[in-house]
């Protein structure tokens, strides 16, 4: 299996003025991400997420350690061949149109496309920008600028996408559309490394999650591993009468949280009471795991 991203003992220290000690943003982070994987990099503000991305994209040099994309050190510009990148706050040339921005991206990446205009239009329409392809981005909202940057990153047919808060500034419909597009990219074998504070959408996309706090990678988990770390299960049912321990919800639904060992007993009690089981799921979510890491 090809390794898309390899990070080994990566450290980044920022000097401070006067007598303050240097600030260590990354403290020996090591991580391997396979080609075709979607990796969600999660952490609070100031945890080191953006610093790591700046190193991976060649905008910043590490203090110690090394990182490579597809086996090529990130300090070598060749490593960025086939890389699509969207920063948290894209800075687009405001005198250009979305169509011009995507066309420029194709030329810079030396993409050999038979019909570049048609190719760019397809991506702009997919991101809901078909009506503004020839308008300058100067008057765009943050959400429209974000979608333009995402269309630009995908139009160059990248083998790796690095996305720093890609859902920032998008409304609920925009977030859903972008998540669907990224899910399609994943199904076609693309590799994604993304950060986001919208944890529900990260859960939907990612194969694994890395939880970073204060510059340290505290945990790397898959969804199945997260589910297996908790010993409690949430059961939601529909019925007319209460069962011991259940809490009422609107619409005649009931919910109860029980230990795994008591699950079958609870299901039997619900069956006797004439309930229909709607949902059974582990109580540990990405948000819960995130809070566990942040709170120690």
* Cβ neighbours, 10 Å, residue 203: 16
Read off the pLDDT of each residue in 33-41 and give the average, rounded to a whole number.
94
User: pLDDT at residue 198 above 80?
Assistant: no
What tokens were used for 153?
């990153």
The ranges of the chain annotated as CATH 3.40.50.300 are 3-222
CATH class of residue range 3-222 = alpha beta
Contacts of 3 (CB under 8 A, 6+ apart): 32, 33, 34, 35, 68, 70, 71
Q: What share of the chain is helix, strand, coil (3-state, %, to 5)?
A: 35, 30, 35
What tokens were used for 7?
């990070």
Contacts of 113 (CB under 8 A, 6+ apart): 106, 119
User: pLDDT at residue 148 above 80?
Assistant: yes
Q: What percent of the chain has pLDDT over 70?
A: 92
Work out the mean pLDDT of the chain and round it to a whole number: 89
Contacts of 236 (CB under 8 A, 6+ apart): 249, 253, 254, 255, 277, 278, 279, 280
In the beta sheet, which residues pair with residue 55?
none
CB-count exposure of residue 161 (10 Å: 0-12, 13-18, 19+): buried
Instruction: Render pLDDT for 113-146 as a digit per residue (tens, 0 to 9).
Output: 999 999 999 999 999 999 999 999 998 999 999 9
Give whole-number Cα distances, 207 to 37, 204, 223, 224, 225, in Å.
6, 9, 7, 9, 11
Contacts of 141 (CB under 8 A, 6+ apart): 169
pTM of the model: 0.79
pLDDT score of 204: 79
Q: What percent of the chain has pLDDT over 90?
A: 58
What tokens were used for 130?
């078909």
Contacts of 207 (CB under 8 A, 6+ apart): 37, 38, 39, 222, 223
Read off the pLDDT of each residue in 145-149 and give the average, rounded to a whole number.
94
Task: Give the long-range contacts of residues 9-12, CB within 8 A, separation 24 or more.
Answer: 9/64, 9/65, 9/66, 10/52, 10/55, 10/62, 10/64, 10/65, 10/66, 10/67, 11/62, 11/63, 11/64, 11/65, 12/48, 12/51, 12/52, 12/55, 12/60, 12/62, 12/63
Instruction: Render pLDDT for 205-261 as a digit per residue (tens, 0 to 9).
Output: 888 989 898 999 988 887 666 656 666 788 999 998 889 989 998 888 999 988 888
pLDDT score of 15: 87
DSSP single-letter state for residue 258: E
């Amino acid at each position: 299996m090809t390794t898309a991203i390899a990070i080994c003992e990566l450290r980044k220290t920022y000097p401070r003025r006067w007598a303050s000690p240097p600030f260590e943003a990354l403290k020996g982070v090591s991580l391997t991400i396979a080609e075709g994987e979607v990796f969600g990099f999660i952490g609070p503000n100031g945890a080191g997420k953006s610093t790591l991305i700046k190193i991976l994209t060649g905008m910043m040099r590490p203090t110690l350690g090394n990182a490579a994309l597809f086996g090529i050190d990130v300090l070598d510009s060749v490593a960025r061949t086939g890389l699509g990148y969207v920063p948290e706050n894209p800075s687009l040339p405001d005198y250009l149109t979305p169509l011009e921005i995507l066309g420029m991206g194709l030329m810079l990446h030396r993409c050999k496309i038979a019909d570049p205009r048609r190719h760019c239009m397809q991506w702009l329409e997919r991101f809901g920008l078909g009506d503004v392809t020839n308008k300058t981005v100067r008057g765009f909202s943050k959400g429209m600028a974000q979608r333009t940057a995402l269309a630009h990153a995908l139009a160059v047919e990248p083998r790796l996408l690095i996305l720093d808060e890609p859902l920032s500034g998008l409304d609920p419909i925009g977030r859903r559309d972008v998540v669907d597009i990224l899910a399609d990219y994943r199904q076609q074998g693309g590799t994604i490394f993304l950060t986001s504070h919208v944890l529900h959408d990260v859960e939907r996309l990612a194969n694994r999650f890395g939880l970073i706090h204060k510059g340290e990678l505290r945990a790397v988990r898959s969804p199945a591993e997260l589910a297996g770390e908790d010993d409690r299960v949430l059961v939601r049912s529909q019925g007319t009468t209460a069962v011991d321990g259940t809490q009422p919800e609107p619409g005649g639904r009931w919910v109860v949280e029980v230990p795994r060992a008591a699950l079958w007993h609870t299901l039997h009690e619900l069956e006797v009471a004439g309930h229909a089981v709607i949902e059974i799921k582990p109580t540990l979510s990405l948000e819960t795991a995130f809070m566990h890491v942040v709170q120690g």
